[in-house]
Amino acid sequence: MGTLRAVLRDLLLALGIGLAVGLALCLLFGLLGGLIGGAFYKGVVAARSAVLLAGGILLLFSALLLLKGGNLPEEAFRLRLKKKRELEPDFQPPRPLNLYRVVARPYTTLATAAGILLVSLLPDLLLIHL
């Protein structure tokens, strides 16, 4: 029961992060598209396109992780800060947040992409009712 709870926690956290990122993208590009395009309709179209693009790119990344994830080294996912290390000898790179406890990286990336794509329904619903 504890493992199931941890898996659900990780997947819901990834979905929530995806929903938050998708909503932020939707609002940002909706406002920018509305201001640049001069109409509310154009802002909604820009928001829909931006959210679908971001979700699609993240789905491609999660597919890459699912197909080649076991063969990729852990160093591929770390930031490299060699210049700061050379300048400051006592500098330590930031530690990972470890948000996800049980679920592997490809599945959390897939859940995040699903959350972003779920937000793309909002501009579509607005376009239907306009």
pLDDT in tens, 52-80: 999 999 999 998 888 876 666 666 666 65
Question: Looking at the 3D structure of the chain, how many domains does it have?
Answer: 1
Q: What tokens were used for 2?
A: 């504890």
Cα-based angle 70, 76, 80 (whole degrees, multiple of 5)? 160
- Residue 72's pLDDT is what? 65
For residues 36-48, one letter each, b for 16 or more C-beta atoms within 10 angstroms of the residue's C-beta and e for the rest, the string is eeeeeeebbbbbb
Taking the model in full, what pTM does it have?
Answer: 0.78
Domain region containing 38 = 2-129
Q: What is the pLDDT of residues 74-96, one digit of tens each?
A: 666 666 555 555 556 666 666 66
67 token code pair: 């197909």
